[in-house]
Amino acid sequence: MTLWDMTVDVLVVGSGGAGMVAALVAHDRGARTLLIEKAPVFGGTTAMSGGALWIPNHPLMSAHNLNDSPEQALTYLHSLPGAGDGDMLRTYVTYAPRMVTYLLRGTYYRARVLTQYPDYYPEQPGGLPGGRSLEPEPYPLRALGADATRLHPPHPQEMVLGRVMLTAEEAHRAVTQRWHGLFTVATHLLRYIMQPKGPHGRDPRLTLGNALVARLYRSLRDRRVPLWLETRLEDIIVQGRKVEGAVVRHPDGVLRIQVRQGLILTAGGFARNRAWRQRFHRAPSDPDWSAVAMTDTGEVLHMAEAHGAALGLMEHLWWNPVTLLPGSEYAWLLVIEKGLPGAILVDRFGQRFVNESAPYLDVGQAMYTPDREGRPRIPAFLIMDARARNEYPLGPLAPGKLQPWWAVPEALRGTWLVRANTLGELARALGIDPAGLKATVERFNAYARTGHDPDFGRGRSAYDRYYADPNVKPNPALAELKQPPFYAVRVYPGDIGTQGGLLTTPWAQVRHRDDGILEGLYAAGNIAASPLGSIYPGAGGTLGPALTWAYLAALHATRASTSLTYNTKHQPAARGQSS
């Protein structure tokens, strides 16, 4: 007979957005709930993210005169190569809006609709030019009180001058609207200077993933749902194929916890696990290229696998081109910079190989396509001219007109950011074929003058134009590289997490590798194989499914229902969730 130190109905492992939603729903369903987190801070990679949720047909659309439907969303999802199982997709378009409705009605979560932010493939059947992505409203840090020190810091690139936080809309304005954008940044710099600061000088106004996590945490705290920090899952106690409990290591010792209804795993993926990356990913693959939390090491995923859990999509990541700053703990995402007019991405032969303005998942994957000698294009090189450098930010640097070369930190000059008076000199400094780069730039400049890129179609999609410069004509995503000096940074196929993990049912139940399920075990977020398949439909395409299946896991664990009902008659042929 097993002796237990304590008993709960639902145990949730991992305090990112998915874990918090699971704990909220379980508590509101009357379950005795415990949330544990191995780090000394809460929020995980969610706190470092943009905090957006991609939610088709969400309840805020009508207020903005936006039209969507489950059928239209399904058509869009099924049009994307790599889309997952039909039942999983139908589950998402049905329950994602219900999840958001629950948050809006019962928690501190508030959101603004990104009406101009397109789906990542808006021209595909069922795609929309904007409105499906939600970003959290800013939230005051002071609302967390003493717990403000326990909130995971944002990614460094989410703060202007390392301090000031902007919303996604404000950041977009800062890049694409020049003087209006500068006014936006200046306004928030002044606000930061004038307002009382948070711990360690933190911005008192939280945005993006920090705002999402803070709002969910405040909702948990008001409900008195316990969150144990510095508490890690040591083992899952399984009898047959049924979860009976868990062993956790708490600062006060090891505890055996009986779990009566459900163990919900939301502990993230394995982006920081070098051995697992080498085991599953194409080479080269480096945890230093990731932008996720340092705690994303995959031991909970490995633990579930040891108990028979099935895995899927393990070779896939949420790819994102990154650059590596000297002395920085985290890779720097190039979501915006990669496609700004006057910049191109080339390989060591000086050749372009992708539409630089395409969704970051596609650009990251393209770096693994073979160059003319059959090798991955790693590193690649982001090349720009003086006009582009003067007008747009690059990594941690403000536009050159605000931060000229002499004001670039010495640690970055010549090592991270390379400058030369000619393209030939720049190529030789980076080990690029000078003749190849010169020919590529001449070809690209001709395209920029006509506004048409016949090689890769850059600027054709509404998504390409979202982070472009409307002042550039005739194509806002294309500008010539002709004004010296020229600049370059090295680019790597980084990520914002792993896409593979535990295979789950539409109720987020973990599947057993020999068919069936592990009863009482659930997974959501990056610890689970992406329920939508290997696709990335739009901004918030990671967090939207993560929170939705956390919601479903808690509903099922607390026996709110045992059958799914769909609000669509669209029933496409099923596809496999696993790769």
Question: Once rounded to an integer, what is the mean pLDDT over residues 430-442?
Answer: 98
Asked if the structure places residue 245 within a domain, the reply is yes
Q: What is the secondary structure of 89-147 as a DSSP string?
A: HHHHHHHHHHHHHHHHHHSS--EEE-TT---SSTTSTT--SS-SEEEEPPEEGGGGGGG
Number of domains in the chain: 2
Residue 575 confidence (pLDDT): 27
Full domain range(s) for residue 229: 7-153+207-316+499-579
pLDDT tens for 347-400 read 999 999 999 999 999 999 999 999 999 999 999 999 999 999 999 999 999 999
pLDDT tens for 194-224 read 888 888 889 999 999 999 999 999 999 999 9
Same domain, 483 and 511: no
Indicate the pLDDT class of residue 98, thresholds 50, 70 and 90: very high
Secondary structure element (H or E) that encloses residue 6, with its range: strand 6-13
Question: How far, in Å, CA of 110 to CA of 51, rounded?
Answer: 12
Same domain, 253 and 339: no
Last residue of a domain, one of 474, 495, 516: 495
Secondary structure element (H or E) that encloses residue 518, with its range: strand 517-523
Last residue of a domain, one of 464, 495, 526: 495
Same domain, 335 and 291: no
pLDDT tens for 137-161 read 999 999 999 999 999 999 999 988 8
Question: Quick one: what percent of the chain has pLDDT higher than 70?
Answer: 96
Asked if the structure places residue 1 within a domain, the reply is no
Same domain, 224 and 353: no
Question: Quick one: what percent of the chain has pLDDT higher than 90?
Answer: 89
3-state secondary structure 287-318: HHHECCCCCCCCHHHHHHHHCCECEECCCCEE
Same domain, 399 and 261: no
Q: Name 212's Cβ contacts closer than 8 Å, sequence gap at least 6.
A: 17, 46, 47, 49, 51, 109, 136, 543
pLDDT tens for 441-477 read 999 999 999 999 999 999 999 999 999 999 999 999 9
Indicate the pLDDT class of residue 562, thresholds 50, 70 and 90: low
pLDDT tens for 549-561 read 999 999 999 986 5
Question: How far, in Å, CA of 138 to CA of 227, rounded?
Answer: 23
Left (φ > 0), alpha (ψ -120 to 50) or beta: where does 104 sit? alpha
Question: How far, in Å, CA of 442 to CA of 444, rounded?
Answer: 6
CA distances from residue 553 to 18, 23, 24, 44, 246 in whole angstroms, order as listed: 10, 10, 12, 19, 17
Question: How far, in Å, CA of 132 to CA of 537, rounded?
Answer: 10
Nearest Cα neighbor of 466 from 8, 116, 39 is 116
Question: Once rounded to an integer, what is the mean pLDDT over residues 560-569?
Answer: 54
Last residue of a domain, one of 470, 495, 520: 495
- As a whole number, the mean pLDDT across the chain is 94
Asked if the structure places residue 16 within a domain, the reply is yes
Q: Name 147's Cβ contacts closer than 8 Å, sequence gap at least 6.
A: 217, 221
Same domain, 333 and 294: no
Q: Name 262's Cβ contacts closer than 8 Å, sequence gap at least 6.
A: 9, 10, 11, 26, 243, 520, 521, 522, 553, 554, 556, 557, 558
Residue 64 burial (C-beta neighbours within 10 Å; 0-12, 13-18, 19+):
exposed
CA contacts within 13 A on the Cβ side of 517 = 14
CATH number, domain with residue 257: 3.50.50.60
2, 237 contact by CB (below 8 A): yes
Question: Once rounded to an integer, what is the mean pLDDT over residues 95-117?
Answer: 97
Secondary structure element (H or E) that encloses residue 234, with its range: strand 232-239
Question: How far, in Å, CA of 376 to CA of 319, rounded?
Answer: 15
Same domain, 551 and 446: no
Query: What count of other Cβ atoms lies within 10 Å of the Cβ of residue 427?
Result: 24
**384-422: string of b/e by CB count within 10 Å (b at 16+)?**
bbbbbbbbbbbbbbbbbeebeeeebeeebeeebbbbbee
Q: Which two tokens stand for residue 384?
A: 């720009």
Cis peptide before 485 (omega within 30 of 0): yes
Nearest Cα neighbor of 521 from 11, 2, 27 is 11
Same domain, 490 and 505: no
Coil, helix or strand at residue 578: coil
CATH number, domain with residue 328: 3.90.700.10
Indicate the pLDDT class of residue 579, thresholds 50, 70 and 90: very low
Asked whether residue 571 carries a pLDDT value surpassing 70, the answer given is no
Question: How far, in Å, CA of 144 to CA of 30, rounded?
Answer: 25
pLDDT tens for 244-285 read 999 999 999 999 999 999 999 999 999 999 999 999 999 999
CA contacts within 13 A on the Cβ side of 302 = 13
DSSP code for 437: H
Residue 181 confidence (pLDDT): 76
Asked whether residue 569 carries a pLDDT value surpassing 50, the answer given is no
Question: How far, in Å, CA of 435 to CA of 241, rounded?
Answer: 62
Asked if the structure places residue 413 within a domain, the reply is yes
Q: Which two tokens stand for residue 520?
A: 């009482």
Same domain, 70 and 136: yes
pLDDT tens for 38-86 read 999 999 999 999 999 999 999 999 999 999 999 999 999 999 999 999 9
Same domain, 277 and 338: no
Q: Which two tokens stand for residue 75?
A: 């058509």
Indicate the pLDDT class of residue 320, thresholds 50, 70 and 90: very high
Q: Which two tokens stand for residue 280?
A: 């599953």
Q: Name 26's Cβ contacts closer than 8 Å, sequence gap at least 6.
A: 9, 10, 12, 33, 261, 262, 264, 554, 557, 558
Residue 578 confidence (pLDDT): 31
